[in-house]
Amino acid sequence: MAKLEVLSREVVVPANGRPGSSIWFSNLDLAARRGYTPTVYFFQHSGDHSDFFSTDSMKESLARALCAFYPLAGRLGLDDGGRVQVDCTGEGVLFVTARSKHYSLEELMEEFVPCEEMRELLVPPTPAPNPPCALLFVQVTRLRCGGVVLGQAMHHSVADARSAALFFNTWASISRGDGMPLVPPPCFDHTLLAARPVHARKVVYDHLEYKPDKEEPAVEDDSAATSYASAIIRITGAQVDALKAKCGGGSSTFRSVVALAWQCVCRARSLPPSAETRLYSMVDMRARLDPPLPPGYFGNAVIRTSVSAMAGEVMWSPVFHVARLFQAATSHGDQYTRSLVDYLEGVGTTNLPRSGISRTHLRAISWMGMSFSDADFGWGTPVFMGPALMYYSGFLYVMNTPPGKDDGALALVLSLEPETMPEFTKLFAQELAKM
């Protein structure tokens, strides 16, 4: 593994003190994976900035961002009844600066795939994700060429991907001198997703995604992740357009790309035609609730959904048919969400399945809403942003690529069984070549 020189470890606290309080967690927060989500942002040094990612500047802007996002400076805690919550203690965020003489940015981007080695290199180590743990860890790694990697690990119980992006984009805005973005402030009122009163609760769906799968591996934390191979596969804007056209005008970009990936994963795994394969996803419900959540809602507002089919149907049907199957898993609204929250209130969230899926299944998540331009800390937009680690085999992120010559391009970040990945990449490339 490439060696890393740690230059400093400091704790950054909010620039202005805030009275102690606590943040109540909704059932969707409690149902999220109990662990940290490590991500990385790669920045190229332009040569025009002598203060490129200055440590003092980054710490000062982080301290100001934590004033608005004060829960992140707190600790995971327990209320009097033993329910997990955030204790807003203001104890701060770990901020690490490091240097890698081994990598230039170009070399790192050629070698980088999400894996344990890259996570250990670019993101600070984190403790066991249970009370009273810290909630955010940040690392600025300077590369041989002058480029920088900003790595972070945020506790998933506190924030989903959209919430994490809101925080980092706010921090970036402050760092580049624009101050707080002109958007509504973060909203920490998780009672907006509270279960209904006992007499009004109504569970009208099965919610099997929150029930144990008999074949599901027992993976409960990051260190226990099963063996996998990971890859980053890029799709041109023209290929995306052609795939969407093939799936029909009503199919979204995400559904179209995932449908083709699901087909190729099933084929690469050589699944028996009669085997059940399930496609899991996470759907952001902020705008789908009635009334919608505030734009600045900070927490977990995503739900697990899925659709199943026989592997033969997925493998050999036209891709537009597979996209329509997937649509059933991404079309839920307010009633479904309220049913889920009520269901979780009844069964509790202690023993929910949180990680790992059967070898016949796939989990796909859209990170397409994360804007590269909003993550400009004052020295240019990142040339790459993505997860530093995949948790288990059968996980897929769909992401935008940085603005440039091919603005419609996408990146798939995928983990599969080591013996499956070569066949998948071959099959997926063949299908794209037909577009």
Residue 23, H or E segment: strand 22-24
Whole-number Cα distances in Å, 219 to 215, 354, 387: 12, 8, 19
User: 284 - beta bridge partners?
Assistant: 302
CA 47, 49, 55, 58 dihedral sign is: negative
272 alpha carbon, distance to own chain's centre: 31
Q: Based on the residue annotation, tell me whether 376 is a catalytic residue of this protein.
A: yes
Determine the 3-state secondary structure of 363 from DSSP. Answer: strand
**Active-site option among 155, 156, 207, 361:** 156
CB 94 within 8 A of CB 123: no
Euclidean distance between CA atoms 129 and 212, whole angstroms: 22
Q: Based on the residue annotation, tell me whether 45 is a catalytic residue of this protein.
A: no
Determine the 3-state secondary structure of 374 from DSSP. Answer: helix
Burial of 298: CB neighbours in 10 Å, binned 0-12, 13-18, 19+: buried
Return the structure tokens found at 193. 């997703």
DSSP string, 42-103: EE---SS-TTTT-HHHHHHHHHHHHHHTGGGGSEEEE-TTS-EEEE-----EEEEEEEESS-
Euclidean distance between CA atoms 84 and 30, whole angstroms: 7
Closest residue by Cα to residue 244 from 229, 259, 228, 262:
259
Determine the 3-state secondary structure of 383 from DSSP. Answer: coil
Whole-number Cα distances in Å, 157 to 126, 154, 274: 14, 9, 37
**Active-site option among 87, 160, 342, 376:** 376
Residue 24, H or E segment: strand 22-24
Euclidean distance between CA atoms 319 and 244, whole angstroms: 10
Q: Please give the positions annotated as active site.
A: 156, 376
